[in-house]
A and B are shown apart, each in its own frame.
Chain A
C-alpha cells in the first residue's frame, strides 16, 4: 500500500498501473522513432550529388539511422523488462 508520502514502499497493486502506462508510452515513442528512421533511410542524394560527396553524405545518414536503431533496441529492452515486472507482480498477487 502506498502511503502517499514515500515512507512505505509501494505494493504490487500500486505499481501495476504505473508500469502499464510506462510500457504504453514506450510503445508509442518507439513507433514515432521508427517512422522518422524510415524517412531518414529513404533520403536519396543521388539526384543532386555524385561520387565522394554523395558517399560521405550517405555514410553520415546511415550513422544516424544506426543510432536510431540502437535507441529502438534500448526501448524494446526496456519494454521487455517492464513486461517481465508486470508478469511477476501479477503472479505475486
Chain B
C-alpha cells in the first residue's frame, strides 16, 4: 500500500535530502542514468559518423545517389536529435521527482496543521484533556499496546499486526502524536493562533517533547518511568573488526535487542595517534513502564523523547569515554530504534567529534544534529515506531532520508507484532541502499569510509545497567 499512487514503487527506495526537498526512487535515478548514458553515447556516435564520413575517398560530400556521404550526414543529424531528446528526458525525470518531493512536503505540513487545529478544538472541549492530564499517554500506550499484542489471541494479534504495519496507520499515528500538545493547549485555553505558532506547524517550541515532559511528570508521580544512574562495563574480550564498507555493514554492526546482552558495540580503527571510532547502539529491550536495571527500556524512550538524559544515552556516553574516545577523535555512530534516537542525541551533545550518524527505524526527533554531520535516516513507511516522535519536519542539507515500505508486497510473517520495525527488515533495506546509484547515498558511504578507513580494527561490546533503587533486575 502506498501513500501516493503516482509514486508507487514496490520494494523501492524513496530518497530525500534536506528534509523533503528531493524525493527520487532508485528506479527513477537508474532510468535517468541510462538516458544520460544514451545522451553521452549519441554525442560520441555523432563524432564517429563525422570521422567515417571524412574517410570517403571522394571527399566527405558528393551529391550523388551512390555517395554515402549524404546518408551519413542524415545519420549525423538524427544522432543530434537523440542526444538532445535523451538529455531533456533525463532532466525531466529529475524535475518530476523534485516536484513530487515538494508536493509531499506541502502535504505533510498541511496535515500537521490540520491535525493541530483538530487537536486544539478537541482540547478546548476538554474531552481529551483528561486523557493527557491523567497520564494515559498516547506514546506509552501505543508502545504498550504494540508489545503486549503478543499476549492477545491469535486473531487479535493478526489484526494488530495488519493495522500496525500499514502506512496509513503510521501517518495517522504520526499526526496523532504531533497534535497531543495542541489538545493540551486547547484544554488550557491557549488561543489557536498562539498554539499553532508555538507547535510543530510553527516554530516547534512546543510539541512532542513537551508532551513527553508532561507524561513523565504525571507518570513519575505514580512510580513509573523512574530513571536512575547507570554503570557500564565491557563484555567479553576484544575481537578483530573490519571497517564498514557500506550501509549494510553499519546495520549489521548494531547489537540485537536481547535481554541481558550488550547494547553497545564500539570499534576502534586507525592508528594509536589518530584513532577513529564506530559506535553501534541497539534498540529497546524492555517495554515495561516500570523501570528496571535495563536502561534500554520504555522509560528511556519517553525520557529521550522529552529531550532529557535517558539511561541509554548516559550508558552510551559512558561507554564511549571508557573505551577511550577522545573529544577530537572522529566518530561514526549508528543505531536502531531507541538506539537511533540516542545516536542523534550523542551527535547533538557535542562532547565527541561525530562525523556521521545513521539511524534505522528511530522515532522522528527535533534534536538538532550539528551542521556538517552527515546524517542518514532510514525509515519504513509501515513502521509505526518511527511515528512515535510525531512529524519532525527537520530541514537540513546534511540529512538524507531513505523511506521504503518493507511489506508492500511480501506477506507479513506470523508471530511478529511489528515486522517492519525489526532490525533484520532494516538490514534488507540497507542492501537496497548500498545497491542504489543515488548520489547522496554514495556521498554518505564515502564519508563513513573517509572517517574509518579500510584497515581492520578492534571491537569491544559494552553493557549498561541502571541502578534504580529497588528496581527489579533482568
Q: How far is the CB of A36 from chain B (nearest CB, A)?
A: 6
| Pairwise interchain contact B72-A18, C-beta atoms closer than 8 A | no
Tell me, rounded to whole Å, the shortest Cβ–Cβ distance linking B79 to chain A: 6
The reply to whether A43 and B34 form a contact with Cβ atoms under 8 Å apart is yes
B72 nearest in chain A by CB position? A78
CB-defined contacts of A67 to chain B, threshold 8 Å: 78, 81-82, 85
A82 to B5 CA separation, bound complex (whole angstroms): 53
Distance of A47 Cα from B26 Cα, bound (Å):
11
| Contact between B75 and A78, CB atoms less than 8 A apart | yes
Q: A25-B48, A29-B48 are in contact. Are A78 and B71 (CB under 8 A)?
A: yes
A22 and B56 in contact, given A47-B27, A48-B28 (Cβ under 8 angstroms): yes
Asked if B241 is at the interface of the complex by the 8 Å CB criterion, the answer is: no
Tell me the minimal C-beta distance from A7 to chain B in angstroms.
Answer: 14
Q: Counting CB contacts under 8 A, is B111 at the interface?
A: no
Q: Which residues of B contact A61 (CB under 8 A)?
A: 89
* Chain B residue contacts of A36, Cβ below 8 A: 37-38, 41
By a CB distance below 8 angstroms, the chain B residues around A25 are 48, 51-52, 55
Give which listed residue, B45, B67, B96, contacts A33 with CB less than 8 A: B45
> Roughly how many angstroms separate A36 CA and B37 CA in the complex, as a whole number?
9
Query: Complex Cα distance A57/B96, Å?
Result: 11
Q: Using a Cβ–Cβ cut-off of 8 Å, how many residues does chain B contribute to the interface with A?
A: 43
The contact string, 1 if C-beta is below 8 Å from chain A, for chain B 378-420, is 0000000000000000000000000000000000000000000
When chains A and B are docked, how far (Å) is the Cα of A61 from the Cα of B38? 11
- Among B25, B48, B66, the residue within 8 A (CB) of A81 is B66
Q: Are A63 and B85 in contact (CB under 8 A)?
A: yes
| Option from A10, A14, A18, A74 in Cβ contact (under 8 Å) with B71 | A74
B74 touches A74 (CB 8 A): yes
Contact with B along A57-72 (1 / 0, CB 8 A): 1001101100110110
Within the complex, the shortest CB–CB distance from A82 to chain B, in Å, comes to 5
* A65 to B397 Cα, complex, angstroms: 38
Mask, A1-44, CB within 8 Å of B = 1, is: 00000000010001100110110011001001100100110010
Contacting pair B85 A81 (CB below 8 A)? no
Q: Are A47 and B9 in contact (CB under 8 A)?
A: yes
A29 touches B10 (CB 8 A): no
Q: Write the chain B residue with the least CB distance to A45.
A: B31
Q: What's the Cα separation between A10 and B55 when bound, in Å? A: 13
Q: Say whether A22 contacts B52, CB under 8 Å.
A: yes
Residue of B with least CB distance to A11: B57
Closest-by-CB residue of A relative to B28 is A48
Tell me the chain B residues, 62-92 only, with Cβ under 8 Å from chain A. 65-68, 71-72, 74-75, 78-79, 81-82, 85-86, 89, 92
Question: In the complex, are the beta carbons of B71 and A48 less than 8 A apart?
Answer: no
List the B residue with the shortest CB-CB distance to A49: B6
- Determine whether the beta carbon of B34 is less than 8 Å from that of A81: no
Q: In the complex, are the beta carbons of B72 and A50 less than 8 A apart?
A: no
Beta-carbon contact of A48 and B25 below 8 Å: yes
A73 to B: closest C-beta gap in Å: 9
Q: Is A91 an interface residue (CB 8 A)?
A: no
For A15, the chain B residues whose CB sits under 8 A away are 57-58
B89 nearest CB neighbor, chain A only:
A60
Distance from B154 Cβ to chain A, minimum over Cβ atoms (Å): 35
Interface centre among A48, A70, A82 (most CB of B within 10 A): A48
Mark B91-110 against chain A: 1 for CB-CB distance below 8 A, else 0: 01100100000000000000
A85–B93 CA distance with the chains assembled, in angstroms: 46
In Å, the complex CA distance between A26 and B27 comes to: 34
With A and B bound together, what is the CA distance between A36 and B82 in angstroms? 12
Instruction: Give bound CA distance, A60 to B309, whole Å.
Output: 56
Q: Smallest Cβ distance from A12 to chain B, in angstroms?
A: 9
Residue pair A74, B55 in contact (C-beta under 8 Å): no
**A19, chain B: closest CB distance, angstroms:** 7
Would you call B255 an interface residue if the criterion is a C-beta within 8 Å of the partner chain's C-beta atoms? no
Assess whether B5 is in contact with A74, with CB atoms less than 8 Å apart: no
- Give per-residue flags for B8-48: 1 if the beta carbon is below 8 A from chain A beta carbons, else 0: 11101000000000000101100100110110010001001
Question: In whole angstroms, how far apart are the Cα atoms of A36 and B49 in the complex?
Answer: 16
Interface status of B7 (Cβ within 8 A of chain A)? yes
Q: Do B71 and A40 touch across chains, with their CB atoms under 8 A apart?
A: no
Q: A22-B52, A71-B45, A75-B75 are in contact. List 5 more A-B contacts (CB 8 A).
A: A25-B48, A40-B35, A48-B28, A74-B71, A81-B66
- A-B CB contact pairs (8 Å), 27 listed: A14-B57, A15-B57, A18-B56, A19-B57, A21-B55, A22-B56, A25-B48, A36-B41, A40-B35, A43-B34, A47-B9, A47-B12, A48-B7, A48-B27, A49-B7, A51-B6, A60-B89, A71-B45, A74-B71, A74-B72, A74-B75, A74-B78, A75-B75, A77-B68, A78-B71, A78-B75, A85-B66
Would you list the 7 A-B pairs with minimal beta carbon distance, nearest first? A74-B75, A78-B68, A48-B9, A15-B57, A81-B68, A78-B71, A18-B57
